[in-house]
Amino acid sequence: MTDELFKDDAYVSEFEAEITSVDGDYVTLGGTAFYPGGGGQVCDTGIIGGVKVVEVKEADGEIVHKVPGHRFSVGDRIWCSVDWDRRYDLMKGHTAEHLLFNSLHRQDPELNIVKIFISPESKYVIVDRDIGWDKISVAVRFANKVILENHSVRRSVMSKDDPDISKIRVKLDRIEEDEISVVEIEDVDLAACCGIHVMETEEIGAIFVSKKTSAGRDGVEIHFEIGEKAVDESMSLATSCLSIIDGLGSKPSDIERTISNMKHELESCKRMLKESTISMIRTLKPVNIRGIDVYAGIFHTSDRSVLTDAAERYKEDGAVAAFIGVGDNLTVLLASGDKRVDCKKLISETLSEFGGRGGGKPDFAQGGVADTAMKERILESLMKGIEHSL
Ligand SMILES: [Zn+2]
């Protein structure tokens, strides 16, 4: 079995080792400081005997290094070096995650971790339920306080039967081994974790939650940054927010009220626009073409349902309706209660002339055109088509 140097000392990055087996691109060493990944932390990379290590993994109790292009033989003694900047970033990220979740969990004891992901590019924890920014903010402040206070971090091994096991954040049914690797952040947190951590919280520098996104059925992803990246990200976000607040003519202390008022106003404008479109459609005067009423109009709305409902109603009465809704692009609807007007054919022919597309059924068809300036010409063309059909 490979001697796992990273377990005794996470700070060993350069070491000498003997090649104990070679299998194509893969080699094993007598002892290694390369972490094969685990606990959500991705594996290390680096150099072995001057050749790049692109992947490290665990296979049959051995730690296997993928070293494409190597020419090693069993028994060779070689100098190895883990990409330390990368590994140190992962160690800090992993420790920071413990601090963050500790506070989130204390605020919401029902909250569970679904997955942890710690890589150089992205660091996040997936939790099984949504959690508000108020709680996240408390957690970030708590974690930064613990970072500043500089608590020590210690790794130990605990038996599954140890009575103290109940103090650990751990799901026993998930643990298969008899011994559990436990990480203790002095006076703050005790968690089961097989990842690699720093020795003192001060090393993390800072932590900042940069975004929260949906993880689908799994729950919610809480992304965070550490160290300089955390400071950079928080400053750049704060600057964007201040610029937006300024653009809205508000003040940081008033912004939540300003946004809430704007949302309210927007909803009420939408409602008013909808009501006015409905009343405009109701008062439309039809053109009578050879005994058939044809209702046609252009409306400033992107609410397709208002137009659809009205067109369906006119169709039921045996009339024809040709409506255009103007939003970011044009919505074109055609409905007919008279079989002579083939809506599907007419709409697809007409809209293709204007660079748009449409489809549907003979009695009801719809489509869209990107160029809103074409609205009058499209309606004119549809009217000609209707007239020709009747
Ligand atoms: Zn950990």
Distance 203 CA to ligand 1 centre (A): 15
Identify the DSSP state of 200: B
Domain boundaries, the chain: 3-82, 88-247, 283-389
Distance 184 CA to ligand 1 centre (A): 10
Distance 232 CA to ligand 1 centre (A): 24
Distance 39 CA to ligand 1 centre (A): 6
Identify the DSSP state of 284: P
What is the full DSSP assignment across 25-44? TEEEESEE-----BTTBPPP
Contacts for 119 with CB less than 8 Å, ≥ 6 apart: 42, 90
Distance 196 CA to ligand 1 centre (A): 6
Could you say which of 3.30.413.10, 3.30.1360.70, 2.40.30.130, 3.30.70.20 is the CATH number of the domain covering 3-82? 2.40.30.130
Distance 154 CA to ligand 1 centre (A): 11
Distance 98 CA to ligand 1 centre (A): 6
Distance 44 CA to ligand 1 centre (A): 15
**Matching residue, tokens 């549809």:** 382
Find the angle CA(379)-CA(382)-CA(384) to the nearest 5 degrees: 110
Distance 35 CA to ligand 1 centre (A): 13
pLDDT at 168: 79
Distance 265 CA to ligand 1 centre (A): 47
Question: Is 88-247 a domain of CATH 3.30.980.10?
Answer: yes
Q: Which residues of 52-86 are buried (b: 16+ CB within 10 A; e: fewer)?
A: ebebbeeeeebbbbbbeebebeeebebebbbbbee
CB atoms within 10 A of CB 174: 7
pLDDT at 192: 87
What is the full DSSP assignment across 158-198? EETT-GGGGGSB--GGG--SSEEEEEEETTTEEEE--S---
Distance 23 CA to ligand 1 centre (A): 31
Domain 3-82 and domain 283-389 have a common topology: no
pLDDT tens per residue across all 390 residues of the chain: 888 999 889 999 999 999 999 999 999 999 999 999 988 999 999 999 999 999 999 998 899 999 999 999 999 999 999 999 999 999 999 999 999 999 999 999 999 999 999 999 999 999 999 999 999 999 999 999 999 999 999 988 888 778 777 777 765 555 567 778 889 999 999 988 888 999 999 999 999 999 999 999 999 999 999 999 999 999 999 999 999 999 999 999 999 999 999 999 999 999 998 999 999 988 999 999 999 999 999 999 888 899 999 999 999 999 999 999 999 999 999 999 999 999 999 999 999 999 999 999 999 999 999 999 999 999 999 999 999 998
For residue 297, list its beta bridge partners: 323
Identify the DSSP state of 103: H
Distance 51 CA to ligand 1 centre (A): 29
Distance 134 CA to ligand 1 centre (A): 25
Distance 182 CA to ligand 1 centre (A): 9
Could you say which of 1.20.120.80, 3.40.50.1860, 3.40.50.10070, 3.10.310.40 is the CATH number of the domain covering 283-389? 3.10.310.40
